[in-house]
């Protein structure tokens, strides 16, 4: 264990599995207090136990990021447990419908945006008072490589469009909050096989180059500890390539 994040409190939504689980373990190894939030609190509790077994400090909180009241409770429980909020990682998300453009129900569209965009904003809004009071903080919005012009492997239309909106939210919050000492950046993890892809269309993954989900550990720690500024979309795969670590996690789906 090192101490690059010692004494800091990091909230991770969607912290019970996938990217969230490995980001939580990574920041814990750097000395952070971790708050694991998700609808399935049992999964967060499992990660909490694993962090504790490694000598870290974590709590698990049930929170649906589409539920404003639960988000407010998440922030209160964080402050009750650790007294401050240094980092918020908006990782929890709705995978979105994979139906064709002529078939997506309005309710499915709304559910994706409620979690991915509205939820990210409300989480940021509710974490901000604790950050602004200390004139420091870092909000990290997890975005997607699908939200890049020219990207052709679109799994879900509402998910991809929502991540374009997340990039926009990152930009405007970064501009507005920079004078108050709070940084806002986006983290683009790349493409890994997690349960988030269980509703992928048939053949979507076949032959695709992918990463194992633990590939986010080193990039997220770098992002949180390096002087990267604000308003940045941080490319995890690009960072791994530049540090000779890309092949460590890469595989091709069968």
**Annotated catalytic residue, options 19, 121, 151, 159:** 159
Cα separation, 50 vs 72, whole angstroms: 26
Cα separation, 174 vs 7, whole angstroms: 24
Contact partners, residue 237, CB within 8 Å, separation at least 6: 145, 188, 189, 190, 211, 215, 246
Cα dihedral sign for 70, 76, 82, 84? positive
Cα of first residue to Cα of last residue in the chain, in angstroms, is: 36
Q: At what angle do helices 41-53 and 18-29 cross, to 10 degrees?
A: 30
Which SS3 state, helix, strand or coil, does residue 130 take? Answer: helix
List C-alpha distances in Å: 65 to 13, 72, 150, 230.
Answer: 8, 10, 29, 24
CB 38 within 8 A of CB 32: no
Which SS3 state, helix, strand or coil, does residue 35 take? Answer: strand
Active site residue 159: yes
Cα separation, 231 vs 181, whole angstroms: 13
The label of the residue with tokens 């633990």 reads 214
What does the DSSP 8-state code read for residue 115? I
* Catalytically annotated residues: 159
């Amino acid at each position: 264990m090192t101490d690059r994040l010692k004494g800091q409190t990091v909230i991770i939504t969607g912290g019970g599995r996938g990217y969230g689980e490995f980001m939580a373990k990574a920041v814990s190894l750097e000395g952070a207090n971790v708050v694991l939030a998700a609808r399935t609190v049992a999964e967060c509790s499992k990660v909490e136990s694993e962090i504790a077994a490694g000598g870290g400090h974590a709590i698990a909180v049930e929170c649906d990021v589409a539920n404003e009241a639960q988000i407010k409770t998440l922030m209160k429980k964080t402050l009750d447990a650790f007294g401050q909020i240094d980092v918020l990682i908006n990782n929890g998300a709705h995978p979105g419908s994979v139906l064709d453009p002529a078939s997506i129900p309005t309710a499915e569209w709304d559910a994706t945006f409620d979690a991915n965009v509205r939820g990210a904003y409300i989480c940021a809004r509710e974490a901000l008072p604790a950050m602004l009071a200390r004139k420091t903080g870092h909000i990290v919005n997890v975005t997607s490589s699908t939200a890049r012009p020219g990207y052709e492997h679109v799994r879900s239309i509402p998910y991809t469009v929502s991540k374009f909106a997340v990039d926009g939210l990152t930009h405007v919050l970064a501009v507005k909050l920079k004078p108050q000492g709070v940084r806002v950046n986006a983290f683009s993890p790349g493409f890994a096989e997690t349960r988030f892809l269980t509703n992928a269309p048939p053949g979507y993954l076949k032959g695709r180059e992918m990463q194992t989900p633990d590939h986010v550990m080193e990039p997220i720690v770098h992002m949180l500890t390096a002087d990267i500024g604000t308003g940045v979309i941080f490319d995890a795969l690009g960072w791994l390539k530049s540090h000779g670590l890309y092949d460590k996690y890469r595989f091709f789906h069968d």
